[in-house]
Copies of this chain bind each other. A is one copy, B any other.
Amino acid sequence: MSKKWVYIQDLGSYVGQEITLKGWVYNTRSSGSKIKFLLLRDGTGYIQCVLFQGETLQEYLDQFSLLTQESSVIVTGIVREEKRALGGFELGLTSFEIVHKTEDYPITPKEHGTGFLMDQRHLWIRSKRQHAVLRVRAEVIRLCREFFDKNGFLCVDAPILTPSACEGTTTLFEVGYFGEKAYLTQSGQLYSEATARAFGKVYCFGPTFRAEKSKTRKHLTEFWMLEPEVSFATLDENMELAENLVEYVIQKIMETREPELKSLERNCDVLKKYRAPFERLHYNDAAKMLEKGSPDFKYGSDFGAPQETFLTSKYDKPFFVHRFPKAIKAFYMKQDPEDATLSLSCDLLAPEGYGEVIGGGCREESIDVLLKEIEKHKLDQKDFEWYLDLRRYGSAPSAGFGLGIERAVAWICGIEHVRETIPFPRMLERLRP
């Protein structure tokens, strides 16, 4: 009795037709013995299926009690418009078949602790909240790629296995590579500088790794990073690119994922106000604000969570802090020609307490300066000979940034912890499932 198999997300094209859906029982309820409701999910949406005495055989009414939570089922019925129903349609069930009856599904409508849910991540992702977050994530990724593809950037992947550190040596994961030591990439940036010399403007997008021992709501050991790099770009052009990207993603996400954001109780009116240009705050000016307002801050140091929280409380839109002290930045960051103690760097801080979602800047183009910095940072010059070649042959200004996808998704969704923004989070003490 199976009819054409369709998905809930496509039901609008099948009103009045008898079709088949394949999915899982989300929940059930009865209204007396003559009418029964099955809320079905097929991964693309939810639909209320109605079993009505007279429309279906008695055997299906009798078997209804077998439809336990998360049992897999194949249902056939007629699609009806129903304004009051979730999604705008309901299915008048004519028959169903239980593929697999689930007993004692571990995640019930009652409250569970996060540790328990994280252990059940392979099942937890079936719940409505995780659905909403991961559907936003997928769309953020799609929009980021679309933004760069439309703007003439080429996607050029950086390698994951690398012979040396890029962002300091304290957070490296080591891999045995046929008797050699390799490291998981911390950032594709050094490689993106090479590809930007080849292709002008590029981006890479892939997983990056930091062996962070800190357990905070912002840290994963494995996270996805989007990293554009533009040859000949200035710091201002870099900030423009970053704000245009952020505006594009946030404004566009509302076109397709507003229902998910609302289900997460995200205030979309606040998001709609995040339009470029974003303010640009010099590090020195930020430092003055902090010295007045945040007693723990010392000029010259990086921002921690208290400083970010303080600064973001002063703005109702994302904003840049630029020209951080050279001493706290990576070896390749270009010195500010107007103040040798500062660098041509920029971070984008998200409001609502989210803090840094983008970090970037201009790269040093002089080989002599770079050689000194490599020595100062106690790095092995041999490891960077290929990178130095980019200054030997056709050196040019270059600027770019990294957008951490999970932090951006947490901010856009308005959720507390990045662990929910990636399908299978990896953290200190969390390598499973």
Contacts and interface: CB of A to CB of B under 8 A. Distances in A.
A334 to B, nearest CB: 14
Contact residues of A: prevailing secondary structure = mixed
A394 B178 contact: no
Interface stretch (A198-206, A316-324, A347-355): A198-206
A86 interface: no
Given A72-B396, A396-B22, A160 B198 contact: no
Interface stretch (A30-38, A55-63, A121-129): A121-129
A166 to B, nearest CB: 13
B191 A423 contact: yes
A43 B199 contact: yes
A43 B175 contact: no
Interface residues of A, number: 95
Which of A149, A176, A395, A424 has its CB near the most chain B CB atoms (within 10 A)? A424
Nearest to A384: B433
Given A23-B200, A43-B231, A156 B394 contact: no
B126 A423 contact: no
A377 B369 CA distance: 56
Contacts of A157: 207, 224, 422-423
Nearest to A134: B156
Nearest to A25: B394
Contacts of A5: 232
A396 B429 CA distance: 32
Interface in A106-148: 106, 120-123, 125-126, 130-131, 134-135, 138, 141-142, 145
B160 A134 contact: no
A214 interface: no
Interface centre among A106, A131, A198 (most CB of B within 10 A): A198
A7 B152 contact: yes
A174 B176 contact: yes
Interface string A390-433: 11111111000000000000000000000000111010110111
9 tightest Cβ-Cβ pairs between the two chains A and B: A43-B200, A386-B433, A43-B199, A122-B194, A100-B395, A159-B424, A22-B232, A72-B396, A70-B394
